[in-house]
Chain A
């Protein structure tokens, strides 16, 4: 079976994550939540520790920790006495440091910290694949189902609210989805690079799209392409797979910036 091979498991896992991360990443880019995503991602190590301590699936631990941090963050961000980037910078490094310390205190476990920080896509198991495709399908279904209100709230919150859409409900939903995708993607590119899968394909798709829907689709395609190119070159040149995927995405982003006629 093709999935018995670690390389193909990596390809399917990466493509599955990229498929969800693309459209969701568009929201992260549109709403200027890049640093927000980073902060949630940095809390992933805490989630790993939580998962190991409680003996639950690590992805689930990361998701729970990420969502909790996202909730705390959005509460803090309503306080206007400190700017958003200052708060995010503080919490992002606080949660990363706390995660590293908690994991290092768990001396009875041997934890591959580097694998969590930069990803270990080649160690993706069948169970991981199941999580990625199950969770990913659910996330995509939610995105498709609630696309219009999610987009409306993103374009102009007050206008959407005046027309009967409850913005806080959809903000919460986006946070849930971001935490979920970060949990799914952590194994692929690691805690430190995980937001790159959200942001770079979306950024690359911007110059190629005229509608939000086009941008979401392009972003998913560019993400999948990045995974394929990244993994192939990682295999070819024996480079670390997570960073190779990220650089492949950056390469596509740069290619997308080359001006062509008829672009907006």
Chain B
């Protein structure tokens, strides 16, 4: 009762290396995700974000490095590009039970959690981008995952839907206590909804809480000064140059003027 409970490690990788031909895709990246933690990977195109997820999921083998999973770890995965060919007739219900059998009740309950229960009999090919991602999230939940791995979950989702989707992911973490590992482009949303950020550009540029990362010179070099200032709004912290002023508005405004 007295001791602090350290959240249990779900997955941990050390010094991962991956090559595609002669090019390095992932260079010496270490990462770990614990129970109840939301970890985001950000980085420019071609930074190896998806490759890193695939390495962790065991879809591809690393050149070097080790990956350790908690024994029997249940993973729910949302791939970046899951479009289902129309030659295959597939209803939402059937998609939900693709790799494991579940009763219609269980499927309905999971779909209701992400707000798309009414779509249960629709062909998956007719879903909109947002509906599809919600179905995929419900699908991941159905397997009662300890770790959710999301590759750009807001892809093909409009701005309003995007905020809702990240809100949903945050709520699921609260309710279920599962760890979340996601890749994202949407810097500001990521920063608001994340415990820890990994900034990746083949190697690990910087890592830490959102506010720390946005102050990191490597981060600013990658995403520009503008990103640093814009994100400060969301994290409700001043940028480091204005930390002591005590006046949020002026510090924020003055920083924006510096932005390129």
Give which listed residue, B77, B79, B82, B123, contacts A210 with CB less than 8 A: B123
1/0 per residue, CB under 8 A from A, across B81-101: the answer is 010110111110011001111
Q: Say yes or no for A214: interface residue by CB 8 A criterion.
A: yes
Q: Say yes or no for A211: interface residue by CB 8 A criterion.
A: yes
Give the number of A-B contacts (CB < 8 Å).
70
The smallest beta-carbon distance between A34 and chain B, in angstroms, is 11
Interface of B is mostly: loop
Which of under 10, 10 to 19, 20 to 34, or 35 or more describes the interface residues of B?
A: 20 to 34
Q: Say yes or no for B198: interface residue by CB 8 A criterion.
A: no
Question: Which B residues are CB-close (under 8 A) to A164?
Answer: 99
Question: Which A residues are CB-close (under 8 A) to B89?
Answer: 206, 209-212, 214-215, 264
Give which listed residue, B57, B88, B143, contacts A154 with CB less than 8 A: B88
Contact B59 A155 (CB under 8 A): no
Question: Which A residues are CB-close (under 8 A) to B94?
Answer: 211-212
The smallest beta-carbon distance between A236 and chain B, in angstroms, is 34
Q: Say yes or no for A232: interface residue by CB 8 A criterion.
A: no
Nearest residue (CB) in B for A164 is B99
Q: Say yes or no for A163: interface residue by CB 8 A criterion.
A: yes
Question: Which A residues are CB-close (under 8 A) to B79?
Answer: 156, 158-159, 162
Contact A264 B101 (CB under 8 A): no
Q: Say yes or no for B180: interface residue by CB 8 A criterion.
A: no
Contact B91 A211 (CB under 8 A): yes
Interface of A is mostly: helix
Nearest residue (CB) in A for B101 is A148
Q: Say yes or no for A165: interface residue by CB 8 A criterion.
A: yes
A211 to B95, CA, bound (A): 10
Q: Which residues A131-158 have CB closer than 8 A to chain B? A: 148-149, 151-152, 154-156, 158
Question: Which A residues are CB-close (under 8 A) to B88?
Answer: 30, 154-155, 212
Question: Which B residues are CB-close (under 8 A) to A160?
Answer: 98-99
Q: Which residues A192-244 have CB closer than 8 A to chain B? A: 206, 209-212, 214-215
**If A162-B57, A162-B77 touch, does A151 touch B98 (CB 8 Å cutoff)?**
yes
Give which listed residue, A159, A163, A212, contacts B90 with CB less than 8 A: A212
A46 to B54, CA, bound (A): 41
Q: Say yes or no for A29: interface residue by CB 8 A criterion.
A: yes
Question: Which B residues are CB-close (under 8 A) to A211?
Answer: 89-91, 94
Can you give 16 contacting A-B residue pairs, CB < 8 Å?
A30-B87, A148-B99, A149-B99, A155-B88, A155-B95, A156-B82, A159-B98, A161-B59, A162-B77, A162-B79, A163-B99, A164-B99, A210-B91, A211-B90, A212-B94, A264-B126
Give me 8 other A-B pairs in contact (C-beta within 8 A), A154-B88, A155-B90 excluded: A152-B98, A152-B99, A155-B88, A161-B57, A162-B59, A210-B89, A210-B91, A264-B89
